[in-house]
Structure 1
Amino acid sequence: MDKVLIPERLEIDPNSSEASCEWLHWKKTFDDFLNALPSEGLDKLGVLVNFLSPRIFQYIEEAESYDTAIEILKTMFVKPLNEVYSRHVLATRNQQASGNVDEYMQALKSLSKHCNFKAVSAVQNRDAYVRDAFIRGLNSTWIRQRLLENKHLDLNTTYNQARSLEVAIKNAEAYRVSDSSTVVTAAQNSETQNDETSCDIEKISATANPACFFCGGKKHPPSKCPFQNVICFKCHKKDIS
């Protein structure tokens, strides 16, 4: 057995941004290794387990066949492609300040692999381009985010979803303004009622007493008494009306 064909142990982090690329490379080296082995009586699942780290093995330990184990691993490392988001990333990718033209071109070619490009009519090609430009130029980042959540999206669906989301934003804003106005009005009414209640108390106090309790003069509201907040000579406490 040529040692050059022996693959490395699979230790890919499923959450890594490079997981898909690393998995495809590892799977190719493992397939080449299997093809170099004698096919008669070959236990593919056993060979696979031998080239998995303990952390990766726990995901396929209950798999009963090689094909089932490979499908589980593929699902782990290769995330479903989002055509709409991938095309948005490609359309908005700029050359890095520290990168040269060759690196920029390679980055664009790499991103284009996830865009699901295929032979279509001129009308379909135009609609796809308009859809991408429409999403890219939206003022609302929230609407753009919601549209980019779709894995597949034609032009009409893009337009209809954007309109619905825009109306939802306006309705929510109108409800918020209306609710704020209700709270302000309630607060103003409460203040008015408190003012009226205070005036009523002063009127009742002035009517019930023929002379002022504090100064002994002609009856008047307590709040108008010149002796209000004066310290009493008997109890040595300040009057609080």
Structure 2
Amino acid sequence: MAGHKMIHVPTFSADPQAADSGSELTHWLRSLENQFKAQETVPTAETKLAVLQTKVDHHVYRSIERCTTYDAAVAELKRIYMKKGSVVYTRYLLSSRRQQPTESIDHFAQELRQLLADSTQEVRTHKQVQDDLVRDAFVSGIGSPALKLRLLETADLTFAEALRVAHVYTEAREQSTAYDHTRVVAGTSQLARPERATAEDTGADSTTLAEPLAAPEVDSDSGLAAATAARPRPVRNATCYFCGNRQHPRSACPAQEAICHLCLTKGHFAKVCRKTARGA
């Protein structure tokens, strides 16, 4: 019995985050297919799946262990390792690619062919080519780095889609700025609105507070009202005109229950009696 022609296929263990993971997978799959073709009998789908599973390391195997067919396993590997990049960025690489000082002419030409293949998914009409040129110039000329990043995240970006994304981004940014400004203004207004104290709370003179003073209480025995007997004169210092001490809340005034022995009025001390001060 003639022996099978064996082609060495290395174990596939590429890092999916590596820049060349797609080309590494392509080369490995081609080597695997060449091994199948070199056999005298065409292997079954089950056999091909079994061979593929033995030719990957345990990290790669975990990503395809649920695949039940050879084609499904290959499709899953391509999905993981052959990520479709931005066409706009690939075309930029093609237009800006320069031969390196130590690079041969053949290698430089091969790199250009590969970039062209990556940037061309289908046959383009004349109008589509024009749209592609406008799209490339639009993305390249965008001034916002954040918007440019968002545009480059789309693999199959058209000029119409780029324009739509730019409008949505600009409008959202303007609304966010207006929203933040409104919150700052509202917060500043709350901070700039102090509570106004009343004379009843502080017991201070009308020259110290913006609110008018409450009228002194009426003595039920004498029938004399302090408001009709005398109007308090303006006091320039911050003192309580009921007791003469430093300004304090009316509820804490020691003269609340005191009876003035000069005018017999309740609520203030004799030393600050306004009635006697006017010679009444």
Tell me if TM exceeds 0.5: yes
Aligned residue identity for 1:9:
T
Shift in CA distance, 98/167, structure 1 to aligned 2, threshold 3 Å: farther
Shift of 1:135: 0.7
Greater helix fraction, Structure 1 or Structure 2: 1
For 1:169-188, what per-residue CA distance to the aligned partner results, in whole angstroms no more than 9, with x for missing partners?
Answer: 11211221121111111111
From 36, 43, 47, give the equivalent of 1:34: 36
Q: Relative CO higher for 1 or 2, CA cutoff 8 Å, sep ≥ 6? A: 1
What residue in structure 2 maps to residue 170 of structure 1?
174
Q: Secondary structure at the match of 1:7?
A: coil
| Match of residue 137 from structure 2 | 133
Q: Which residue of 2 aligns with 1:8?
A: 10
RMSD: 3.1
TM-score, length basis structure 2:
0.63
Q: 1:137 to 1:70 in 2, by over 3 A?
A: same
Specify the alignment match of 2:204 in structure 1. 203
Q: Please state if 1:72 is matched with 2:106.
A: no
% identity of equivalent residues: 22
2:120 equivalent to 1:116: yes
1:20 aligned onto 2:51 = no
Q: Distance in 2 between matches of 1:41 and 1:25?
A: 20
SS of the equivalent of 1:59 reads helix
**CA offsets 1:44-85 (integer angstroms, 9 cap, x no match):** 222222322222223333433222222222222122343244
CA distance in 2, matches of 1:96, 1:178: 54
Q: Mark the runs of 5 or more structure 1 residues left unpaired by the alignment.
A: 213-219, 223-241
What secondary structure sits across from 1:127 in the alignment?
helix
Greater displacement, 78-87 / 45-54:
78-87
Q: Over alpha carbons, which structure has the higher Rg?
A: 2
In the TM superposition, residue 18 of structure 1 has moved relative to its aligned partner by 1.5
TM value normalised by structure 1: 0.72
Which consecutive unaligned segments of at least 5 residues does structure 2 have?
206-238, 249-280
Q: CA deviation at 1:14?
A: 1.9
- Any idea what SS the aligned residue of 1:197 has? coil
Distance in 1 between residues matched to 2:54 and 2:172, nearest whole Å: 55
Pair 203,64 (structure 1): closer, same or farther in 2 beyond 3 Å: same
- In structure 1, C-alpha distance between the alignment counterparts of 2:108 and 2:183, rounded to whole Å: 51
**How has the CA–CA distance of structure 1 residues 135 and 101 changed in structure 2, closer, same or farther, with 3 Å as cutoff?**
farther
CA distance in 1 between counterparts of 2:168 and 2:159 reads: 14
